Amino acid sequence: MTIRILTLLLLFIAVDSVFADTIAIVNVDVISMEDERVREAQTVIVADGRIATIGDVDATPVPIVATVVDGTDRFLVPGLTEMHGHVPGADSVDLQRTLALFVANGVTTVRGMLGQPAHLELRERIRSGAELGPRLITSGPSFNGRSVADAQAGVAMVRAQQAAGYDFLKIHPGLSWAEFDAIAATAEELGIPFAGHVPEDVGVERALDAGIATIDHLDGYMESLLPANEDPSGGLGGFFGVFIADQAKPERIPEIVALTAAAGTWNVPTESLFAHVTSPDLDTGQLVDRPEMKYMPVATVDRWRAARDELLNDANYDPATARRAIELRKELILALRNAGAGLLLGSDSPQIFNVPGFALHHELQYMVQAGLTPYEALKAGTAGPAEYFGSDAFGTITPGKEADLLLLDANPLIDIANSRRIHGVMLRGRWLSREELDVLLARYKR
């Protein structure tokens, strides 16, 4: 018996503990996301849903009452945050499926981008442990051209949602500048963030000036790259500007990026969604045949196929222009990174060929393809969201934080694809082994 194994055995049996519901992940390499270091051969002790202790495996006692998880040759990272997710309603047959798919993929927090009153109760049920699911941060019903009749109606809607207890306001297309301005001013007065799309009548620069918290999908940025005398209105740009990328001037990128950084606005690019809808280099049949599609209803996948086919068959769609749009978006993402503007991980799932949870791992790869390092991409889905929310509850592996953790069989800093090699997930202290995750997924496999 080696000295190391003997030491571990003694640590397991020698120390009692006052902790209840205690789990020890032993001999694991920790990527805390406080920095890019890998802290090798650590023991992480979780008690009562929080990280209690992190220390060297040979010096950190393991409480007798602890459930022990072997972390040897594995890597512990914080749970992932989906910053642009959609959660079905409480009466939807898809609710449990969506929550389960998020959890099985290590997504421990979701910012719900299309809220409804039932989500306020769901948020509390998840928080209390009555419902298995990722921490939910939810908007209210969206502000758009149909829900907002005029500026006065927009103001009333802001006040009602803030009073109801929603976490933020979701902006959708169709708002006039007067309506958007009134909504923004009232949101600032009440201290509730607003985020999402950039209405055509507003544009990125005015949205930044108004204090939009996040711009999602890089919405409006392609239009902002058009020549100065070009009118971007009229709705001819297609899916987030895919039809007009041939007119965009990349030399305008530094200006709009500098304005974004100065405004303190974060971006949620949702590159996986854009590529899955618009890329001429992705075969629709191959997307349909991806392994994760077996967890979605056939009718849903058929709708996704039809939506993609509709765009690709549009008279305004040009494969070369679509490729240019994808490359320009990569340039934008890298320029935002270089300027210090915040980037957040989000996939807009469930959406076209973006299965909840699985899509976020695709998003990590797209962010790396855009030029981010694996660490930077992971930060956009861990420490970054916590910083954005101003939260000390999650985002890093630090004593005192809630225990939202992802145990991987390989190092994601070497290859971001290793984020998929999930050995287990911890959801606020509840450990779900690979076997338990497989059972959870099997419920929804067709």
Q: Are residues 68 and 373 in contact, defined by beta-carbon separation less than 8 angstroms?
A: no
Angle, CA 193 vertex, CA 167 and CA 268 arms, to 5°: 95
The answer to whether residues 300 and 378 belong to one domain is yes
- CA-nearest of 423, 409, 428, 424 to 75 is 409
- CA-nearest of 385, 383, 371 to 84 is 385
- Cα distance between residue 311 and residue 441, in whole Å: 31
Work out the average pLDDT over 175-204.
Answer: 98
* Integer angstrom CA distances of residue 224 from 198, 229, 230: 11, 11, 10
- Cα distance between residue 319 and residue 311, in whole Å: 11
Look at residue 7 and tell me whether its pLDDT is greater than 60.
no
The answer to whether residues 70 and 157 belong to one domain is no
The answer to whether residues 53 and 104 belong to one domain is no
The answer to whether residues 129 and 182 belong to one domain is yes
Amino acid making up residue 310:
E
- CA-nearest of 351, 355, 303, 352 to 100 is 355
The answer to whether residues 102 and 185 belong to one domain is yes
The answer to whether residues 298 and 357 belong to one domain is yes
- Cα distance between residue 293 and residue 290, in whole Å: 6
Question: Do you find a cis peptide bond into 350, omega within 30 degrees of 0?
Answer: yes
Work out the average pLDDT over 220-236.
Answer: 76
- CA-nearest of 346, 370, 369 to 359 is 346
The pLDDT value recorded for residue 231 is 54
The pLDDT value recorded for residue 17 is 32
The answer to whether residues 256 and 280 belong to one domain is yes
Q: What is the number of other CB atoms lying within 10 angstroms of the CB of residue 132? A: 15
Identify the residue whose tokens are 């290859």.
Answer: 415
| Residue 407, SS3 per DSSP | strand
First to last CA, the chain: 47
The answer to whether residues 32 and 168 belong to one domain is no
The answer to whether residues 183 and 261 belong to one domain is yes
* Residue-range definition of the domain harbouring residue 435: 3-78+398-442
CATH of the domain at 273: 3.20.20.140
Q: pLDDT confidence of 445, banded at 50, 70, 90? A: very high
**Number of separate domains in the chain:** 2
pLDDT tens-digit series, residues 48-94: 999 999 999 999 999 999 999 999 999 999 999 999 999 999 889 99
- How far, in whole angstroms, is CA 248 from its chain's centroid? 28
- Cα distance between residue 198 and residue 208, in whole Å: 10
Angle, CA 148 vertex, CA 236 and CA 204 arms, to 5°: 45
pLDDT tens-digit series, residues 131-175: 999 999 999 999 999 999 999 999 999 999 999 999 999 999 999
What tokens appear for 16 in the block? 């009692």
Q: Where are the beta strands (DSSP E) in 204-332?
A: 214-216, 266-268
The answer to whether residues 333 and 366 belong to one domain is yes
